[in-house]
Chains A and B, each alone.
Chain A
């Protein structure tokens, strides 16, 4: 009898402690498992003298019941506690309103690049790309701008090494070189991208965007250049007529070279493109210099053609009435929201470029 009492006292006090479910289970096994202390005592019932047997079994059953109910109670207690904890932790307020769904906007520069690409692909140009980090050869030398040439003064270049061999491209023209070295003529490509010059004020940013155009074939002349640019400008500004002029200029990589101005006027404080007696410079162009063709192993006696470079930021400003170039790169959310475009409205020629 004292044995049973000992076991009972021992386990009742054990079960009073703070226990985990695992610990309780192991206690359960210790008592009622196949070789558990209580189970073992039951096995001894037959060996007990008849006189004591009845009392012994009754006591044993009583303690068994007591311990079992104690264990069950403990398990229930733990489970309730765990559930309460879980409920506390994972409480959801189903009365809260749903999260708002915000759709981002397309930056005006990206939109303009898409518009430009769309217009030129319509007339047979494919889009090429080149890296922002260029070598000196592709950016200057191959484009007929030798060392010490004053034309290099026009570019305030960001050099990336002391030998001035690696730089941030100052224009998208090196893409011409890469494209022509890679393939065989004819070429008809545009190359939009970022360009860099160390210049910074209201109308110049150290990083800006250009699109390069190149068309080389057997009989491409300045007339084709003029037609192409005239078409582009009309499409881009979505106007029927455009006043434009070619003004002689100089670039080392083209001969003859021209800058293109378009007419504009200010009406009611707003700029109107395509008419008026003011001129606005928007791009540089010309017939690709024979030396450039020689540098890329194209025979200038057989092939000729034109190239142009357009400042994308300037075009975007004009088309969308943006006054300060710096706003493009300020990342002001309100500005982006106002001037940005719906990402689902991809510009196409037949659907209209901009909405």
Chain B
């Protein structure tokens, strides 16, 4: 009984942790816009956690810069299982316009497996909600597979 309850709760209470890996701040603002009264993702149980230890979903923005690479990997390692890694915007997936720069060592999937990618520069809030909803489903599957 408890296992089912926990599995169902996993999809209903995803806490986000947001890492900026050298982003231009555009995606970060769009992510914060989700918490405003207009989009209000808290109605789906989303919450921005202050620390990676509390998080279920890690949202990474920005092309991974040489300076941020270690921090990003260490932060992701601190998130307890089951966890889902979401990339927000084009940068973490392809480095976008920063590709080829001497300071960029991305894309992120060279270092960690990515579960959901939300494309766009920057993605619309609706697209982000869609991607996060997909992420909660993956979270539930990962929890169920354990």
A binds B: no
